[in-house]
A = this chain, B = another copy of it.
Amino acid sequence: MMQEKTQQWIDISVPLYTGMVHWPDNPPCGITQTMSIDAGDGCNLSHLSMGVHTGTHMDAPLHFIQGGKSIDTLPLEATIGSARVLEINDPQAVRVAELEPYAIQAGERILFKTRNSAGAWKSDVFVEDFVYISHEAAQYLAEKQIQTVGVDYLSVGGYRIDGPETHRALLGAGIWVIEGLNLSTVQTGSYELICLPLKMMGAEGAPARAILRALS
């Protein structure tokens, strides 16, 4: 039998529920009961309706690049393996100057912890001034050839600023994107990441569950 590790897994996914926050022009999330033991059915059964870029989810290149790869083609090694959590102090955006000291390497999986994690998720109303990745920083990450990037609110790009630009810079470079993480209980450092999106055929993204474990 496999040796069970002693470090605990930390859930960095946000909960899904009816009425939860979503990007303004995206469909809402609804979880409804279609069968109920209380109502005399044999079991309880739920139906899920959601835009796939709500909550913790992944973007595939096809989200912004016509003809790009869909989420079912994700290589599992892109979201399973070592990852670095970097804490961003800039209250507006991830910028190149704050990234440079980290000596980011090709093939890395990088997750950005910003003030979003402890703040923005408390609201069921969309928070417009969340911390995003500036277009320039996205180009920097693309040049560094990282494998995967994760952010702690609904988009790598900002609201009404650097939205398409940041997405295209990352997705066009073949970087896999995880959005909607909550890193509030996670310290800066190196971790083992597991992020598994639903296997939605031909789709430009999918809801996901993501967890971290400290490297011992």
Interface residues, chain A, with chain B CB atoms under 8 Å away: 1-2, 4, 9, 11, 13-17, 25-27, 31, 34-35, 37-38, 42-53, 55-56, 62-64, 66, 72, 76-77, 80-82, 163-164, 167, 190, 192, 194, 196-209, 211, 215
Given contacts A1-B190, A2-B190, contact A62 B50 (CB under 8 A): no
Given contacts A1-B190, A13-B199, A17-B201, contact A63 B82 (CB under 8 A): no
Q: Which residues of B contact A13 (CB under 8 A)?
A: 199
- The answer to whether A45 and B66 touch across the interface, beta carbons within 8 angstroms, is no
Q: Which residues of B contact A34 (CB under 8 A)?
A: 26-27, 51
Given contacts A9-B76, A82-B1, contact A43 B202 (CB under 8 A): no
Expressed in whole angstroms, the minimum distance between the Cβ of A64 and any Cβ of chain B is 5
Using CB atoms, name the residue of chain B closest to A68.
Answer: B44
Taking chain A's interface residues, is the majority helix, strand, or loop, or is none over half, making it mixed? mixed
Q: How far is the CA of A126 from the CA of B64 in the complex (A)?
A: 36
- The answer to whether B202 and A44 touch across the interface, beta carbons within 8 angstroms, is no
- The answer to whether B44 and A204 touch across the interface, beta carbons within 8 angstroms, is yes
Further pairs besides A42-B64, A56-B199, A207-B207: 6, Cβ < 8 Å: A11-B76, A11-B199, A16-B200, A46-B205, A80-B194, A196-B209
Q: Which one of A42, A164, A198, A202 has the highest number of Cβ atoms from chain B below 10 Å of its Cβ? A: A198
A-B residue pairs, 10 tightest by C-beta: A196-B209, A2-B82, A44-B204, A17-B201, A9-B76, A15-B201, A196-B196, A46-B203, A1-B82, A13-B199
Q: Which one of A27, A82, A163 has the highest number of Cβ atoms from chain B below 10 Å of its Cβ? A: A27
Using CB atoms, name the residue of chain B closest to A35.
Answer: B25
Q: How far is the CA of A196 from the CA of B72 in the complex (A)?
A: 16
